[in-house]
Amino acid sequence: MKILLVQDRLRSGGTERQSILLTRAFRAAGHEATLLTFRPGGALAPTAAALAPRALQSFDCHLDWFAPNLLNTVRRLAPNLILCMGRMANCYAGSLQRACPAAAVIATMRTGKKLPWLFRRSLRRVRHIVSNSHDARDTLVSAHGIAPGKITVIHNSLVFPALTDVDGDGAPSPRVSALRTAHHATPATTILLNVAMFRPEKNQRELITLAAALPGELDWQLWLAGEGPARTACERLTAELKLTSRVRFLGFHRDPTPLYAAADIAVHASTSESLSNFLIEAQAHGLPAVAYAAQGIAECFLPARTGWAIPPGDRTAFLTALMPLFVASPSERAARATAARTYARATFDPTRQVTAYLDLFTKLTPPAS
């Protein structure tokens, strides 16, 4: 099967990581899979280098929507199936279906943002839609009038499913201990972690504000990993709140696994999600999670067991859910970590998700008679 994945740019987001993972997995399954981007480069370009992705812009025009010669390029590639990843790619999905009627074009719903008109039009023109959460599917049905039979739910795959980095006796490994020491965190320090692009909707400002309300006697640090346009404002807020000794800006990490291993609690205040890659990865590493209840958030963990979905903006409830995690006993932490890892690795297993995609592709592209 010839499979084409379309993505506007390989920035550092979760959708882009999924695009790379799926392209690699489809090839490993014996299919001819091509990753096509609008813009060249991006933070994850080195990660995708072995896949030799093709870019439509000969040089980076810094325009996410600009896809020169897209339709002719796709016609030449002649795929059996086209999987559109991300908002910009999905805006072109309907045009791709019309230009390539023999191919099955699949739109994807993996955003909590308001959908542009072209995206909404594409939803009606494409052969099928994959949503990465049941919440997202329900939104397609209730808000956009899409027939349920046209939608398949396939959760995101774990990109970093490695075991928590500990020694055989359960103690942190020297690598993890060194990472905590580098940030002046003692063994008693509780590390709150968030891994996300610094965009306004990811709402790291709220996490900083919440952290400022923690009792002063607690020993904690907030680690914020990622880059993006909202970082400068977050750094300024941290300084205004006199939290520079407690809030760490760690930058972009191509592989954040060591951060998960070194942290204690995952925190998330995003206002726009469909399914949080950060939270499912944190769960796979055994971290309990407290997060505002954006779309799909409650599907990232076992509610009230390994994670707590808080009404958006309810800071009192957020802090109330967070505080018991600071004082949990070692046995409570171990039991919760085991439950989180078991749930995440079963629900978001890459082999399971890739198989679900390939089964769907086979149904949509029956062999020629």
Question: Is-same-fold flag (2-157+349-364; 174-347)?
Answer: yes
Least confident of 14-28, 65-79, 86-100, 171-185: 171-185
- What distance in Å separates the CA atoms of residue 182 and residue 252, rounded to the nearest whole number? 17
Alpha-carbon distance of 338 to 202, in angstroms, equals 28
pLDDT reported for residue 166: 46
Which DSSP helix (H) or strand (E) runs through 90? helix 87-91
Contacts for 187 with CB less than 8 Å, ≥ 6 apart: 177, 180
**What is the band of 173 on the pLDDT scale with cuts at 50, 70, 90?**
confident
Q: Which residue has the higher pLDDT, 177 or 120?
A: 120
Q: What is the pLDDT averaged over residues 138-158?
A: 97
Give whole-number Cα distances, 76 to 102, 235, 238, in Å: 13, 47, 51
Residue 172 has a pLDDT of 66
Task: Give the pLDDT of residue 168.
Answer: 42
- The pLDDT, as a whole number, for residue 160 is 85
Checking if the pLDDT of 282 tops 80, the result is yes
Which pTM value belongs to this model? 0.91
Domain 174-347 in this protein, CATH class = alpha beta
Q: What is the DSSP code (8-state) at residue 334? A: H
Closest CA to 208 of 276, 269, 283: 269
Domain 2-157+349-364, CATH class in plain words: alpha beta
How much of the chain, in percent, has pLDDT values that exceed 90?
93
Q: What confidence score (pLDDT) does residue 210 get?
A: 98
Average pLDDT over every residue of 38-51: 96
| Spatial CA neighbour of 272 closest among 224, 210, 203, 222 | 203
What mean pLDDT comes out for the span 15-20?
96
Closest alpha carbon to 96 in 78, 74, 68: 74
Q: What is the mean pLDDT of the chain?
A: 94
Q: Is the pLDDT of residue 167 over 70?
A: no
Please list, in sequence order, all residues whose beta carbon lies within 8 angstroms of the beta carbon of residue 140, skipping any fewer than 6 positions away. 109, 123, 129, 131, 146, 151
Q: What is the pLDDT of residues 292-346, one digit of tens each?
A: 999 999 999 999 999 999 999 999 999 999 999 999 999 999 999 999 999 999 9
pLDDT digits (tens, 9 = 90+) for 130-143: 999 999 999 999 99
Taking only the tens place, the pLDDT of each residue in 226-256 is 999 999 999 999 999 999 999 999 999 999 9
Amino acid identity of residue 353, one-letter, is Q
Domain boundaries, the chain: 2-157+349-364, 174-347
- Grade residue 176 by pLDDT with cuts at 50, 70 and 90: confident
The angle formed by the CA atoms of residues 358, 364 and 365, to the nearest 5 degrees, is 85
Is the separation of the CB atoms in 88 and 368 below 8 Å? no
Q: Which residues contact 203 (CB under 8 A, 6 or more apart)?
A: 269, 270, 271, 292
- Percentage of residues in the chain having pLDDT higher than 70: 96
Extended strands (E) in the chain:
2-7, 32-37, 54-55, 81-84, 104-109, 128-131, 151-153, 190-195, 220-225, 247-251, 265-268, 289-292, 307-310
